[in-house]
Structure 1
Amino acid sequence: MASNKPAPEAPSRFGSDFTTEYAAATGTESGTGLTAEFGTEGLGETDRAWEEWNPTEESVRPVRGRHRVAKQRNGLARSSTVLGVGVIAAVGAGGMATAQSKPPVSISLPDSLAEKLPDANSLPGVGALFSEESATDQAQTAAAPLTSAGITTAEAEQGATDAGEALRARILQQAEQQQSAADAEAKAAEEKAAAEKAAAEAKQKQDVAEAKAEAAKKKAEEEAKAKAEAERLAKLAAAYAIPTSSYTITSTFGVAGSMWSSGYHTGLDFAAPTGTPIKAVHTGTIKSAGWSGSYGYRTVLELEDGTELWFCHQSSIDVSAGQKVTTGDTIGRVGATGNVTGPHLHLEVHTPGGTGIDPMTWLRDKGLTV
């Protein structure tokens, strides 16, 4: 079983010379103040009892982590370390006189102890604190002004050295940017409104122009239609003829009266002297010609579309059934035969279905003026 004897202790840090000087400086009895302040451990003991050491799992505490002194990048931490080393050295030498009312006390170390103290540069993690790099870092840190904190590289290149002024400049720049954005937005809104207004005005003008063009087109169409109708009537007028001449309209279609068996007048009366020629209104075929009771002598002319024209109360008939006639041919003469009150031509118009219609309207539709 292993055993370890304690190593011999170093000479006491508090020799007789030191205690004498300390008593003189503090005004206390020799050894009394030193003992009161620093305790009695190590002052009178020259040897200690030792016993055999047997390490066990309970008595040995595992070492955790890596014990090293990290190199600090700021001068303040390094300065604190140097100060701590100085304080330790001073306390080890006999303490510090902290009372300002007392005169400074010179501290000296015994030669035997001073020779055994290691050099500060050789201490692990401490020597680097006294290197030239540490001094350079401290100088650079001291040279850098605190007011430069928060200044960007671009601002530093522009000559900015004060953080407050740099912040103020950034705020003003941001305000200008916001104002510029607001102005741009307002300008865009104005341009949009102007464009919409111009588009509305253009559309209104286009609508007016289209309305005028539509009206002009409609007018032109109406004029063309009227012209075409006039040309059509002119051609019809050339193809149709008034049935007699020197006439007077004495009775029209639909007039009510007891003189007509139907209770109303079924034709159009052209009063004219007896013997006045009666002409074919349009080209067609004589369907019948002869006596027809109350109609007297009657001639029926059938047109190509099936329309029938009845010429009544004639004094004489100049055509016969089945004969082809053309517009203007004489087919008979005005008379007063049948149920009449005087000489006249009674003209009736019947559709292909046999319905009687107004002769005056039919003649006008053919372009004739009655």
Structure 2
Amino acid sequence: MAATATLPGADFGVDDERGWGEWNPTEETVRPVRGKHRVAKQRNGLARSSAVLGVGVIAAVGAGGMATAQGKPPVSISLPDSIADNLPDAKSLPGVGALLSDKSEDDGAAPATAPLTTAGITTAEAEQGTTDAGEALRARILQQAEQQQAAADAEAREAQEKAAAEKAAAEAKKQQDAAEAKAAAEKKKAEEEAKKKAEALRLAKLAASYAVPTTSYTITSTYGQAGTMWSSGHHTGLDFAAPTGTLVKAVHGGTIKSAGWSGSYGYRTVLELEDGTEIWYCHQSSIGVGVGQKVSTGDTIGRVGATGNVTGPHLHLEIHTADGTGVDPMGWLRSKGLNI
């Protein structure tokens, strides 16, 4: 077979032990090999340059499409029959046998190599059947975008849940505060009502031991009222206008301190209580008790009259504390549970 491709400057030669001579296909165009370019005798019967070339050729021919680019047919290399028939087995060459699998030899199929478009594809993607690097990159970008969107959605959802929780907590606190305020108001109201009831009970019990000084009366002048008819310029007691002879009663139990005439007060009776408080009954028409006499609540001590400095029959009542200070009789009587 004639050679379809020549390699200029390459010498193929063997020693005389194998019966080979120098190969010079075109003596007219190729100069004889001389000097240091002459092939030295080697142990396996091949010159070093021949072994190298043989390895390259066998690798190129055996690999087939391994060195091809995607979409281009492989380039065949042919050798003269005299050389191709005497080339050593590729597997016997150092570093070449490992490149060729037994399976390729047995079934005649060339070793499969991944196309250039599979560069950058991960093992997991390859297991899933992905063969296009561009499509794999696109899938990764879409997956990353989906992950980022999912993370953003999760963050927004978390923010919404947090806001909802804070709103619910604020509403719960508001309701709790309102409930506590309502409970406090109800408690205060209940306490006030209980206090009022207790005070009413106290006054009721107290009223049982106190009595209004007379009956069938009308209040005509109050404590502190100003006027020229009073020497002090104001009224010092409480006037109960009533018909002459109306009974005058002891407001509370005590001892008669004085009883008799007292100038502008007319006939006056002074009742001293246990705490030192004095009750003055003035302008009486008659006195029914004597000094030192013990009286109880509601006992008769005299009668309504018009004696002393008066304009008509009435009972002038004054209240003096233990130190002699005059106080409002109406307020004092009401503090004892009496309805005046």
TM-score, normalization by structure 1? 0.64
2:29 equivalent among 105, 112, 125: 105
C-alpha distance in 2 between matches for 1:132 and 1:154? 35
In the alignment, what sits opposite 1:133? 95
C-alpha distance in 2 between matches for 1:87 and 1:213? 112
Q: 1:208 to 1:87 in 2, by over 3 A?
A: farther
Larger Rg: 1
Is 1:325 the counterpart of 2:295 in the alignment? yes
C-alpha distance in 2 between matches for 1:334 and 1:194? 81
Q: 1:87 to 1:355 in 2, by over 3 A?
A: farther
Contact 2:41 2:47 in 1 (8 A): no
C-alpha distance in 2 between matches for 1:291 and 1:266? 18
C-alpha distance in 2 between matches for 1:109 and 1:336? 176
In the alignment, what sits opposite 1:160? 130
Superposed counterparts of 1:89-104, under 5 Å: none
SS at match of 1:327: coil
1:133-172 C-alpha deviation (Å, 9 max, x unpaired): 3354489998233223222222222222222222112111
1:100-141 C-alpha deviation (Å, 9 max, x unpaired): xx999356547xx85744469786xx87x9435335448999
SS at match of 1:346: strand
C-alpha distance in 1 between matches for 2:125 and 2:244? 127
C-alpha distance in 2 between matches for 1:186 and 1:252? 79
* 1:279 Cα deviation after fit: 0.7
TM-score, normalization by structure 2? 0.69
C-alpha distance in 2 between matches for 1:291 and 1:196? 84
1:45-93 C-alpha deviation (Å, 9 max, x unpaired): xxxxxxxxxxxxxxxxxxxxxxxxxxxxxxxxxxxxxx9xx95758xxx
SS at match of 1:246: coil
1:336 equivalent among 306, 330, 334: 306
C-alpha distance in 2 between matches for 1:141 and 1:353? 131
* 1:181 Cα deviation after fit: 0.7
Q: 1:136 to 1:303 in 2, by over 3 A?
A: same
In the alignment, what sits opposite 1:277? 247
C-alpha distance in 1 between matches for 2:188 and 2:160? 41
* 1:263 Cα deviation after fit: 0.8
Q: 1:323 to 1:165 in 2, by over 3 A?
A: same
Question: Which has the higher mean CA deviation after the structures are superposed, 287-296 or 137-146?
Answer: 137-146
Sequence identity (%): 71
1:187 equivalent among 116, 140, 157: 157
* 1:233 Cα deviation after fit: 2.2
1:257-285 C-alpha deviation (Å, 9 max, x unpaired): 22211011111111223332211101222
In the alignment, what sits opposite 2:218? 248
Superposed counterparts of 1:45-56, under 5 Å: none
Question: Which has the higher mean CA deviation after the structures are superposed, 209-218 or 277-286?
Answer: 209-218
C-alpha distance in 2 between matches for 1:318 and 1:238? 23
C-alpha distance in 1 between matches for 2:27 and 2:180? 114
Superposed counterparts of 1:39-78, under 5 Å: none
* 1:255 Cα deviation after fit: 1.8
* 1:250 Cα deviation after fit: 2.2
Segments of 5+ residues of structure 2 without an aligned counterpart are 1-6, 13-23, 56-92, 102-109
In the alignment, what sits opposite 1:23? none
Is 1:170 the counterpart of 2:151 in the alignment? no
SS at match of 1:345: strand
C-alpha distance in 1 between matches for 2:279 and 2:132? 119
Q: 1:118 to 1:108 in 2, by over 3 A?
A: farther
Contact 2:40 2:47 in 1 (8 A): no
C-alpha distance in 1 between matches for 2:118 and 2:39? 48
In the alignment, what sits opposite 1:14? none
In the alignment, what sits opposite 2:62? none
SS at match of 2:153: helix
* 1:244 Cα deviation after fit: 1.1
Contact 2:39 2:47 in 1 (8 A): no
* 1:243 Cα deviation after fit: 0.6
In the alignment, what sits opposite 1:301? 271
Q: 1:114 to 1:254 in 2, by over 3 A?
A: closer
1:196-254 C-alpha deviation (Å, 9 max, x unpaired): 22223323333333333333333323322222222222222211111112222222212
SS at match of 1:301: strand
